[in-house]
Structure 1
C-alpha cells in the first residue's frame, strides 16, 4: 500500500472514531458503485450524513477540505442517490460534510469537521 493510501486510511479511521464520539452510527465506509465512492455514510436520529474525508500530511497545498470542489460534490451527490436506492431509504434529512485532517510529522493531528458544506 502506498504511503498516500496508508495516510488516507488512517485519516478515515480517525474520522470514523470522531463521528462515533459525536453520537453518529456509521452505516457504510468506502461505499462504491459505478458512479464513484463515498468515504463515510453515518446517521444520528433522523439525519443521514454523507462525509468526505480528506487527509494530508501538511498544508503547503492548502487545507484538505479545499480539495472538495464542485465536481467532487456533484459526484458525491450522485453516489449518495445510488446508496439511497440500494438501501431503499425513502426519506430522511440529508447533510453533506467534510472531515479535514492534517497529520504533520511531529505535531498533533488537526481534525476539522465542516457540516453542511454542499
Structure 2
C-alpha cells in the first residue's frame, strides 16, 4: 500500500536522525491504521526490531527504512537476506521472552522515500517467510 503525504516537511539535520524521524513517521502511520505500538527499537544480541505492534490479534514486527531526497536506491533494497535472518532471530527472542508462541505473527516493511515537499510511505505486509529464512522447519513459531 502506498500513501503520499504532501506539505511542509521538516527534515532532520543529521543522517542518523533521519532513521529516528522515519520510525516516528511509521509509528504515526501505523497508529492511524489501528495498530497498537508495543515496543520500539527492541534490542537483543541477535539484532534490533524497529517496531513491534499488534493488529487484529496478530503480532507484527516492522522494519523501517527511510531514504532522503537524492538518496540512491529504494528503501526496500536494504532488506537483504542477512538482514532478514537477523530480524527473524530477534523476533524469535522477543516471542520467547514474551511467551507469545501461540500468537500469530508476521513481518512487515515500511519504506519512506522523501523529496523536497512530500513523503511517500510504502507498507508491505508479510515480507519475510520466517521459516524459509531460517532454512526450513514447520509453519508454527515453535522451534521444535
TM-score by length of 2: 0.76
Deviates further, 57-66 or 33-42? 57-66
Alignment correspondent of 1:70: 81
1:25 corresponds, among 33, 36, 40, to 36
Structure 1's unaligned 5+ residue stretches are none
Partner Cα separation in structure 2 for residue 75 and residue 26 of structure 1: 21
**Deviation (angstroms), 1:60:** 4.4
**Per the alignment, do residues 73 and 111 of structure 1 end up closer, same or farther by CA in structure 2, a change over 3 Å counting?**
same
1:108 corresponds, among 93, 105, 118, to 118
**Per the alignment, do residues 80 and 108 of structure 1 end up closer, same or farther by CA in structure 2, a change over 3 Å counting?**
same
Alignment correspondent of 1:117: 127
Partner Cα separation in structure 2 for residue 27 and residue 52 of structure 1: 14
Larger Rg belongs to: 2
**Per the alignment, do residues 24 and 92 of structure 1 end up closer, same or farther by CA in structure 2, a change over 3 Å counting?**
same
**Per the alignment, do residues 64 and 97 of structure 1 end up closer, same or farther by CA in structure 2, a change over 3 Å counting?**
same
Taking only aligned residues, the RMSD between alpha carbons, in angstroms, comes to 1.3
Any idea what SS the aligned residue of 2:50 has?
A: strand
Describe how 1:38-57 pairs up with structure 2 within 5 A.
Answer: 38-57=49-68
Structure 2's unaligned 5+ residue stretches are 1-12, 129-144
**Deviation (angstroms), 1:58:** 3.5
Aligned residue pairs: how many? 116
Q: Which runs of 4+ in 1 moved over 6 A?
A: none
Alignment correspondent of 1:96: 107
